[in-house]
A and B are shown apart, each in its own frame.
Chain A
């Protein structure tokens, strides 16, 4: 069974950079699939942030593209999210996820709440 686990700070100051990691077990990030991030503000809906495929190719939500980087760390079987210039509107639960293609997400992490506040 594939398992994803997010890690990172729960609190970030405005204008700072968020860095989250996702540890993957039960699958190899180098073998196939795309690995991405989805966020959900408290009480709100889902927003796709972007993903990186096993080839290293990245795709980002156009609304976030100028601030986001998603990358693979093949040595640790993890992938990461970097989001610059954090603002209060970025306060959300951040989920890491696996997409096997065909625009579907079949495995999700449990999510981690990131609050932006001074």
Chain B
């Protein structure tokens, strides 16, 4: 199944907000309550930061928020901090008759 589409890069200054989009189809993102977001620092494993579109796991700062409109999900990082510089990936159930997950193409967030 084709990957979900994310912008390759995004950036912001400390304290600012950055929003990353994740575009799929009506079969995956658009029809799913199961969009997740992962943060990955260089050389590290991904870390779950948002599940079920907008739920934050315990320990994830409330600076991270998720939403969805139509076939596009979004992750917003408010009050950017230096440690937020990382790669971010969305994922969704693949939808329709396709089993499993599909991941996004990934977005590199740079804190200026």
Contacts and interface: CB of A to CB of B under 8 A. Distances in A.
Interface of A: 38, 45-48, 50-51, 59-63, 95, 102-106, 108-111
17 contacts: A45-B103, A45-B105, A46-B103, A47-B103, A48-B101, A51-B100, A59-B100, A95-B45, A103-B34, A103-B36, A104-B36, A104-B48, A105-B36, A106-B51, A108-B45, A110-B45, A111-B45
Contacts of B100: 48, 50-51, 59-61
B34 A104 contact: yes
B106 interface: yes
Contacts of A111: 45
Contacts of B44: 110
A23 to B, nearest CB: 15
Which of B45, B52, B106 gathers the greatest number of chain A CB atoms within 10 Å? B45
Of all A-B residue pairs in the complex, the 5 with the closest CB atoms, nearest first, are: A103-B34, A108-B45, A104-B51, A48-B101, A46-B103
A61 B51 CA distance: 21
Nearest to A49: B100
Contacts of A63: 1
Interface stretch (B14-22, B67-75, B76-84, B86-94): B86-94
A38 B89 CA distance: 13
B57 interface: yes
Given A95-B45, A106-B57, A45 B98 contact: no
Given A50-B100, A102-B52, A104-B34, 11 more contacts: A45-B104, A45-B106, A46-B89, A59-B99, A63-B1, A95-B46, A103-B92, A104-B48, A108-B47, A110-B44, A111-B45
A47 to B, nearest CB: 7
Given A47-B103, A48-B100, A103 B45 contact: no
